[in-house]
Amino acid sequence: MKIGIIVFSKTNNTFSVAERLKVALIEKGMDAEIERIVPENDDPGVKPPIEFTNKPDVSPYEMVIFASPVWAFSLAGVMKEYLEQVSSLQGKRVFSFVTKQLASKFTGGIKANRQIKSAVNAKNGIIEKSFIVSWKNKNREAEITNLISEILKAV
C-alpha cells in the first residue's frame, strides 16, 4: 500500500514523529514516504490566503496521514489552509496526528484533530483514527509508541 505522511512542521517535533512512523511502516513492508507542506511564509501570524512552495499532491496515495502542530489552541493555520486546497480524499484511508507543547487537556489537541476531521470530510474523506502527542508530557514516548503501533495495526 502506498502511504503518504503529509507533514507541516515548523520546529521539527511533528516531523520527528513522522520519521519514526515512516521507518516503522517501511519495516512492515509498506511503501511509505513523507512529504512536507512548505508555506512561503511560516510566520504563525500570517493571514490567508497562504501560498505554498511545496504543496504535496495526495492523489498517488491509497492511505494518507496528516500531521501538524497545534497553534493557539487550534490547528496550525498553514495546515488548515493546505487542507482547504487539497484534492479529493474519496476512497482513501486517512489518519491524523497533532503535536503540541502542553500536557494538559483543553490545550488545542482535540480541537485541532476535529478541524482536520471536518476538513477531510469536506474533501469526501473519513478519518479512521487521530492522535495527539504532547511534547512536555512525561508520557510523550508512550504517546508516540501508541500512535505508531495503532497505525501499524491498521495497515
Ligand X SMILES: Cc1cc2nc3c(=O)[nH]c(=O)nc-3n(C[C@H](O)[C@H](O)[C@H](O)COP(=O)(O)O)c2cc1C
Binding site for ligand X (CB under 6 A): 9-15, 44, 69-73, 99-102, 107-108, 135
Q: How far is the CB of 91 from ligand X (least distance, A)?
A: 29
Q: How far is the CB of 12 from ligand X (least distance, A)?
A: 5
Rounded to 5°, angle at Cα 76 from 23 and 92: 50
Q: How far is the CB of 1 from ligand X (least distance, A)?
A: 25
- DSSP state at residue 9: -
Q: Which is nearer to ligand X, 5 or 92 (CB)?
A: 5
Q: How far is the CB of 43 from ligand X (least distance, A)?
A: 9
Q: Which is nearer to ligand X, 15 or 61 (CB)?
A: 15
Q: How far is the CB of 67 from ligand X (least distance, A)?
A: 8
Q: Which is nearer to ligand X, 71 or 95 (CB)?
A: 71
Selection from 97, 107, 95, 93 nearest residue 136 by Cα: 107
How far is CA 14 from its chain centroid? 8
Amino acid, single-letter form, for residue 36:
R
List alpha helices for the chain, DSSP H. 13-27, 77-85, 109-122, 140-154
> Strands 52-54, 126-134: parallel, antiparallel or unpaired by DSSP?
unpaired
Sequence-distant (6+) residues with CB within 8 A of 5 are 18, 21, 22, 32, 33, 34, 35, 65, 67
Q: Which is nearer to ligand X, 21 or 92 (CB)?
A: 21
Q: Which is nearer to ligand X, 31 or 42 (CB)?
A: 42
